Structure 1
Amino acid sequence: MVKIIPFAAVRPTKDKVSLVVSRSYEDYPTNELNATLSYNPFSFLHIINPGYKFHHDISGERRFSLVRNRYLEFIEENVFTKDESPSLYIYKIKTRKGDFCGIFAGASVEDYQNNSIKKHEATLQTREELFKDYLKTVGFNAEPVLLTYPDNAEIDAIITTVTKEIPEYEFATTDKAVHYLWKISNLKIIDTIQQVFKKMDCVYIADGHHRSASSNLLSEELKSNNPDHTGKEPYNYFMSYFIPESNLKIYDFNRMVKDLNGLSKEEFLIQLDEHFRIENRGDDLYKPSKKHHFGMYLDGEFYSLYLRKHYEFSNSLSELDTHILYITVLKPILGIEDLRNDNRIEYGYGKYNTIKMKDFIDQDKFKVGFSLFPVKVDQMKKISDEGLKMPPKSTYIEPKLKSGLTIYEF
């Protein structure tokens, strides 16, 4: 059973919404970040980067408090307003790659704890604690967790009906995407959607493992400090965007390594031969077209690496290409134990991923690069169902949601 709740969102006013919403802070190159902060006083970036007002970098608890102050200023200046009644929100994004449509709602911390919300990625405790402290101080959540659910005809029908109405928002952003938001305040429709989710065994985290883990920590802390705890408090939920599995897009990350761990090119290829059938593709750009095929770029040439048929699998994780590359190449041959923190490895993603990888290696920034076939939703689900965890940077998932569109207060 999956529990979702409506919430009264704090949202930008219609005339400012396109100016307020932002991408994730880490997604901005320095020059674009500075330009946005300089020329757009309504950007949500001013809230999460409060030191800009003082031309000073601020971190830690001091920054968290200033984030809270900037947020309250946006409310006082009527950049944000709060909806009068709890609602669900249908959000649609039209992009050049396709359309995405889902529902903003509150997801249950209890579901997270009992594994009705399933995970596929390991989290770092330090990051969990840091973001928990941040949430506790600022008192709101502006970045939803991306959750995916099995396609459902009843929810699809409701979305089709609601989206025929005039939206609350319709605006474009500089990435040439068009955004739409519809508010569902009708209690009967809300209840119908809730009942459909109650019939589901589980949903899956697609993106936002640290955000959901931090919300869980915060809920436990506030619960323990509240002698009148009822279970209905806002901290028992966290803002999420629920999207059907068929509408989720998963792309690949490549891996680039700075050296061959003391091996010559020939020695490296000989060791690869144990697990892979290797073909030299020369300057023909090679990208894998199916699972267990890998691309490699080394010394000005592309290679295809096909996993040998005698390779044995033990569970769903052992079949995952990012895991296979780690246990056959990255760890035993190239000596990379810690995929998160070893500075000899970096990751790339995007439309021109393989070309960028080639350019970096040709410029001697890296010695070798690997491209992989994207993970499928069913693989992700199976790994979650078995309680296993993917290696970091196994999936690049879209949609990437904007910050500051709907805000959930605790």
Structure 2
Amino acid sequence: MATVKPFRGLRPDPGLAAKIAALPYDVMDSEEARRITADNPLSFLRVTKSEVDLPAEADHYSPAVYDQARATLESFVAQGYLRQDGAPCYYVYKQTMGDHTQVGLVAAASVDEYEQGIIKKHEFTRPDKELDRVNHIAATDAQTGAVFLTYRADRGIDALVERCRRRTPAYDFTADDGISHTLYVVDDAGDIAAIEEAFRQIPALYIADGHHRSAAAARVREKCRAANPGHTGEEDYNRFLVVIFPHDQVRIMDYNRVVADLAGFAPTDFLAAVAGKFTVEEHPAGACKPDAAHTFGMYLAGRWYRLTARPGSFDGTDPVAGLDVSILQDNLLAPLLKVGDPRTDKRINFVGGIRGMAELERLVDSGRYAVAFSLYPTSVEELMAIADRGAIMPPKSTWFEPKLRDAMVVHLTGCR
């Protein structure tokens, strides 16, 4: 059963929350982060992408970068920009993006349950990205970005969370991108006990986004435990920062692909080769955004095509092989375009659905890429079914929106 705990969150001063809260470190490059922090020195990107305060030529993974992150976080605390709550709390985090609203519980999840598989994974991690988060957590003694978890929706928990939203929010602001963020502090002892007990009845939690942060929390815990002769298992470093959403509120967008060249094919020959595993139809109406599973849009030489996977070209009984990202990889990207491992092949890139079909057209029309593919989004039910089997999804299968804002609540690990 799932164990989620309240904790003493480190949070922005209410008057500064809109300026401090920032998009996650991994959705932008350093150049964009420098522009943001130049306009807004209070942005939490100065902690999560601390290279912005170092010379441009600095190695982004050098000890100086992590030292800078610690110094900036300590400075924000010393100046009162961030303050720690006096007693353990839960927090309710509501986000609204257009007509979509999702409401999650901010809590501290168990590293033990992550290692035991009660908190379920569906992705491999990259060693370099994992080590980056390990070094960042160790240097700052804090988990500055939350792991996005989901669970099969439970009406009892829904009612508890709704009850906690009847109080005055600690923050309520709309960011520059139009997404609204509202945070409620849950400090009532009765509510805290009820939430903790309700989650004990939930058999599993699922990582939606944040596999590297989860893995890093486990590795940091091992270091902290080894360095603490009085380790009890109740220290803060035994838990990691999460926001937990019911599955019926989670929205996954398409995660599209662009490939730099046609692996020696002329466009007409490539179309003929694609027709071996897909029906190929021109899409004269313009951008082809798939409206059903096993269909794909393809933008090639200034024209859009609709591709439909042929019956028998994939194993629909296998939840991984039946994913659209797998069908495209196994039947087109690998055999025709020679993209063997999407994690390491520099010829392929990935474009979140939030950028729209126009971004795919722009990238191909610019000459940087030869062909683009639009996909139907993976469902949260598919994600959970794969995690329940202990299987692994292909890389870049899911794009979640809206993104959680860093610094809404920070979890201090208490290792140093």
TM-score, normalised via structure 1 length: 0.95
Aligned to 1:225: 227
Residues 336-375 of structure 1: matches in 2 within 5 Å? 336-375=339-378
1:62-85: CA deviation from partner (whole Å, max 9, x where unpaired): 221221111111111111111000
Partner deviation per Cα, 1:291-326 (whole Å, 9 max, x = no partner):
111111112221111111123415110100101111
Contact 2:179 2:402 in 1 (8 A): no
- 1:54 Cα deviation from its structure 2 partner: 5.7
3-state DSSP class of the match of 2:76?
A: helix
CA displacement 1:373-399 (0-9 Å, x = unmatched): 100111111111111111111110123
Gaps of 5+ in 1: none
Deviations along 1:317-359, one digit per CA (max 9) or x if unpaired, are: 0100101111111111111112022121111123452222122
The equivalent of 2:92 in structure 1 is: 90
Residue of 127, 133, 136 corresponding to 2:138: 136
Residue in structure 2 matched with residue 324 of structure 1 by the alignment: 327
Question: How far, CA to CA, are the matches of 2:363 and 2:7 in structure 1?
Answer: 46
Aligned to 2:181, the other structure's residue is in SS state: strand
Check whether the contact 2:92–2:103 (CA below 8 A) recurs between aligned residues.
yes
For the residue of structure 2 that corresponds to 1:317, the secondary structure is coil
Match of 2:92, SS state, is strand
2:34 maps to what in 1?
A: 34
* CA-CA distance at 1:183 after TM superposition: 1.0
1:8 aligns with 2:11: no
CA distance in 2, matches of 1:141, 1:389: 25
Q: Give, in whole Å, the separation in 1 of the partners of 2:410 and 2:325.
A: 35
Which residue identity lines up with residue 332 of structure 1 in the other structure? P
Give the partner amino acid of 1:11. R
Please say which of residues 55-64 and 295-304 is displaced more in the overlay. 55-64
Residue 160 (structure 2) aligns with: 158
Please tell me whether the aligned partners of residues 91 and 182 of structure 1 are also in contact (alpha carbons under 8 angstroms).
yes
Percent identity for Structure 1 against Structure 2: 31
Once the 2 structures are TM-superposed, how far is the Cα of residue 101 of structure 1 from its aligned partner? 0.8
Alignment correspondent of 2:198: 196
| Counterpart secondary structure, 2:283 | strand
4+ residue runs over 4 A deviation = 28-32, 49-56
Secondary structure, aligned partner of 2:14: coil
Distance 1:269 1:49, change over 3 A: closer
Compared with structure 1, are the counterparts of its residues 50 and 323 closer, same or farther at alpha carbon in structure 2 (3 Å cutoff)?
Answer: closer
**Aligned ranges for residues 95-114 of structure 1 at < 5 Å?**
95-114=97-116
Task: Report the Cα offset of residue 47 of structure 1.
Answer: 2.6
Match in the other structure for 1:279? 281
In 2, Cα distance between equivalents of 1:86 and 1:267: 63
SS of residue paired to 1:366: coil
For residues 100-159 of structure 1, the C-alpha deviation after alignment (integer angstroms, 9 at most, x for no partner) is 211100010111111111111111123222321221121001100000011111111122
Residue 31 of structure 1 deviates from its aligned partner by 6.5
Contact kept, 8 Å, 2:169 with 2:183, in 1: the verdict is: yes
Letter in 1 for 2:6: P
2:374 match: secondary structure? strand
Deviation at 1:26, TM superposition (A): 4.1
Shift of 1:260: 1.0
Per the alignment, in what secondary structure is the counterpart of residue 241 of structure 1? strand
Return the offset for 1:194: 1.2
Q: Structure 1 residue 55: deviation in Å?
A: 5.0
Q: Distance in 2 between matches of 1:58 and 1:241?
A: 31
Cα offset, 1:29, TM superposition? 6.2
Deviation at 1:9, TM superposition (A): 0.4
Partner of 1:215: 217
Q: Determine the structure 1 residue equivalent to 2:387.
A: 384
Q: Secondary structure at the match of 1:356?
A: helix
- Partner Cα distance (1:165, 1:357) in 2: 44
Q: Match of 1:294?
A: 296
Q: Deviation of residue 32 (structure 1)?
A: 5.1
Distance 2:347 2:183 in 1: 43
Partners of 1:323 and 1:391 within 8 A in 2: yes
Q: Matched residues in 2 for 1:52 and 1:264: separation?
A: 43
Partners of 1:178 and 1:123 lie apart in 2 by 30
Number of positions where the alignment pairs a residue of Structure 1 with one of Structure 2:
410
Which sits farther off after the overlay, 306-315 or 1-10? 306-315
Pick from 218, 230, 241: which aligns with 2:243?
241
Cα 1:232–1:122, aligned 2, differ >3 Å: closer, same or farther? same
Other structure's SS at 1:279 match: strand
Q: Indicate the SS of the match to 2:67.
A: helix
Q: SS in structure 1 opposite 2:307?
A: strand
CA contact (8 A) 2:253 2:354 kept: no
Question: 2:411 is matched with which residue?
Answer: 408
**Distance in 2 separating the partners of 1:171 and 1:263:** 51
Rounded Cα–Cα distance in structure 1 between residues aligned with 2:54 and 2:372: 42
Taking structure 2 as the reference length, the TM-score comes to 0.94
User: Could you say what the CA RMSD is over the residues aligned between the two structures, in angstroms?
Assistant: 1.8
State whether residues 91 and 184 of structure 2, in contact with CA within 8 Å, keep that contact through their aligned partners in structure 1: yes
Q: Note if contact 1:20-1:43 (Cα within 8 Å) is conserved in structure 2.
A: yes
> Shift in Å at residue 372 of structure 1?
0.8
Query: How many Å separate the matches in 2 of 1:300 and 1:52?
Result: 38
Amino acid paired to 1:318: A
> Separation in 2 of the partners of 1:54 and 1:296?
42
When residues 177 and 359 of structure 1 are mapped into structure 2, their CA distance, relative to the original with a 3 A threshold, is: closer
Q: Is this contact kept in 2: 1:109–1:237, CA < 8 A?
A: yes
Q: Secondary structure at the match of 1:170?
A: strand
Question: Hey, what's the Cα distance between the residues in 2 that align with 1:393 and 1:108?
Answer: 26
For 2:132 and 2:309, locate their aligned partners in 1 and report how far apart those are by CA, in whole Å. Answer: 40
State the alpha-carbon separation in 1 of the partners of residues 372 and 185 from structure 2: 46
**Mean CA deviation greater in 57-66 or 162-171:** 57-66
Matched, 1:255 2:257: yes
- Of stretches 251-260 and 267-276 in structure 1, the one that deviates more from structure 2 is 267-276
User: For 1:217 and 1:107, how far apart are their aligned partners in 2?
Assistant: 15
Code of the aligned partner of 1:370 = F
